[in-house]
Amino acid sequence: MNAHDSEKVIGTLEHEGYLRVADEADAGLILYNTCSIRDKAEQKVFHRLNEYKKLQGEGKRFAVLGCVAQQEGERIFERAPYVSLVSGSASYRNLPEMLVRLEAGEQRITGLDDRQTEQTFDTEFTARTNPHHGYITIVEGCDKFCAYCVVPYTRGKERSRASASVLAEARRMVDAGFTEIQLLGQNVNSYQDPSSRMSFAELLAAVGSIPGIRRVRFTTSHPRDFTRDIVEVIDAVPTLCDHVHLPVQSGSTRILAAMNREYTREWYLERISWIKAARREISMTSDIIVGFPGETEAELEETATLLEEVKYDAVFCFKYSPRPNTPAIALADSIPDEEKSRRLQVLLDRQREIQRVSYARHLGKEMEVMVESHNHARGQVVGRSSQNKTVNFTVAQPILPAVGSYQMVRITQTFPNSIAGEALAG
Ligand code: SAH
Ligand code: SF4
């Protein structure tokens, strides 16, 4: 989401006449987009800002964008006095105007949202880095307030973009040659058109029906808003990728309640059973937090058994990191870092074994792969399946298929994190 925010900011500023340079030493203005989801990401920001100190020069200006800007606000000016502008993501639409003030000599400019804005940042001028696969943000902010999470405080309240604006952007992208579109939101599936009330499943069907589109993805779905019609629309519309990222966070109902996720293990597993009952095989992935305050060994084991029950195709595991302003900051961060690392490893080992066994189901199958890059050293092509798996494959002919093209591949080998095969002729 941050990478895409940067694409939108860059495109908007280029449209205003700013010129992007390859080397930060040549820049008159450096905008630094930041993340504060975990403490490590935030530490990196202040380390990097310190390095910028050395870059200071005649007329050079610095701006800090993103969640650390929103969270730390004017404190950034104290820690890094050479910074002239701080802006959270909910104020990006005002950046052109803030930069005019900056150029006029104003020293300390802030764009800090107070969770009030209803506006979304829609721009026609996104500078997308990949010409084949592109993102579209459809929901900004979050109202879920999970106990551990900074997002509701840094990205403002939840608001959906007008479906007409989303569809117009998707059509423009397809006209420009994009074949894969990924819809984004912290809770992408709580989408609802602000006037027509079009639902997320209806929007998915509409984007997936644009002539010329080949793949539509979406992240991240929240279990609370995961309705059956999402599975039905994936079944019905072939361009919708057969993959759902549905973070569970923990397999223990007690921990889920402490996290304020507002569902139980059983309730979550019911959504998983809908996905498993689909006519197409839909791949599932998840996020997990280990070491949430008070998590016991038995509760960790409940998460491990949930992994075994669901059989996700990938899991992203994080050590709990206390975040400022969040309700969980009031709880003692009772589990030492080494113990969090051990728990992380327990889950990663269990998950690796699940994937080692379950990826073998692809052996001998044929699947369509979108080419992402060429590995010349190994004479291989690297791509991605509709289920979002990395596929390495060989081709018989000397000319490798172009990046962005689609190729049918027969799977000959599987590993815990990727699959390999050979291109089919034709
Ligand atoms: N909106 C999405 C994900 C947002 S952040 C959702 O609700 O699923 C991405 C992931 O970071 C989360 O799913 C969670 O697993 C992790 N995360 C968020 N806050 C965290 C924290 N304080 N410590 C550790 N991991 C965290
Ligand atoms: Fe954070 Fe929860 Fe919102 Fe996801 S749903 S962004 S984890 S508060």
pLDDT digits (tens, 9 = 90+) for 334-347: 999 999 999 999 99
Distance 22 CA to ligand 1 centre (A): 32
Cα 44 to middle of ligand 1, angstroms: 18
Distance separating the N- and C-terminal Cα atoms of the chain: 37
Task: Please work out whether the CB of residue 321 comes within 6 Å of at least one atom of ligand 1.
Answer: yes
Q: What share of the chain is helix, strand, coil (3-state, %, to 5)?
A: 40, 20, 40
pLDDT value of position 5: 96
pLDDT at site 255: 98
Evaluate: CB of 320 within 6 angstroms of ligand 1. Answer: yes
Same fold, 133-360 and 363-423: no
CA distance 248 to 69: 28
Residue 187 Cα to ligand 2 middle (Å): 7
- Among protein residues, the one with the nearest Cα to ligand 1's atom 2 is 186
Q: Whole-angstrom Cα distance, residue 365 to residue 422?
A: 11
Burial class, 169, CB count within 10 angstroms (exposed 0-12 / middle 13-18 / buried 19+): buried
Output the pLDDT for position 376: 86
Write the residue with the smallest CA distance to atom 1 of ligand 2: 149
The CA distance from 394 to 407, in Å, is 11
Name the residue of 149, 188, 316 whose CB sits within 8 Å of the most ligand 1 atoms, as the mutation to test its pocket: 149
Which CATH fold topology does 363-423 show? OB fold (Dihydrolipoamide Acetyltransferase, E2P) (2.40.50)
Q: DSSP label at 192? A: B
What letter represents residue 418's amino acid? S
Question: Does residue 148 have its Cβ closer than 6 Å to ligand 1?
Answer: yes
Buried b (16+ CB within 10 A) or exposed e, 387-422: bbbebbbebeeeebbebbebbebebeebeeeebbbe
Superfamily of domain 133-360: tm_1862 like domain (3.80.30.20)
- Ranges of the chain with pLDDT below 70: 426
102/84 Cα distance (integer angstroms): 7
| Binding site membership of 222 for ligand 2 (Cβ less than 6 Å) | yes
How many angstroms does the Cα of residue 256 sit away from the middle of ligand 1?
13
Pick the CATH number of 2-111 from 3.20.20.70, 3.40.50.720, 3.40.50.360, 3.40.50.12160: 3.40.50.12160
Residue 131 · residue 177 · CB < 8 Å: yes
Token pair, residue 368, equals 């369509």
Find the ligand nearest to 36 CA. Answer: 1
Determine contact, residues 102/61, Cβ cutoff 8 Å: yes
Q: Rounded to an integer, what distance in angstroms lies between the CA atom of residue 230 and that of residue 272?
A: 12
By most ligand atoms within 8 Å of CB, the mutation choice from 142, 220, 250 for ligand 2 is 142
Overall size of the chain counted in residues: 426
Residue ID of nearest Cα to ligand 1 atom 8: 247
List the one residue out of 386, 388, 384 whose CA is nearest residue 371. Answer: 384
Provide the residue ranges of all domains of the chain, joining segments of one domain with +: 2-111, 133-360, 363-423
Q: CB under 8 Å to 229, separation ≥6 — which residues?
A: 199, 201
**Nearest ligand by distance to the CA of 220:** 1
Neighbours of 312 (CB within 10 A): 23
Beta carbons of 1 and 184 less than 8 angstroms apart = yes
- Cα 225 to ligand 2 centre (Å): 12
Q: DSSP code of 386?
A: T
Nearest CA to ligand 1 atom 5: 37
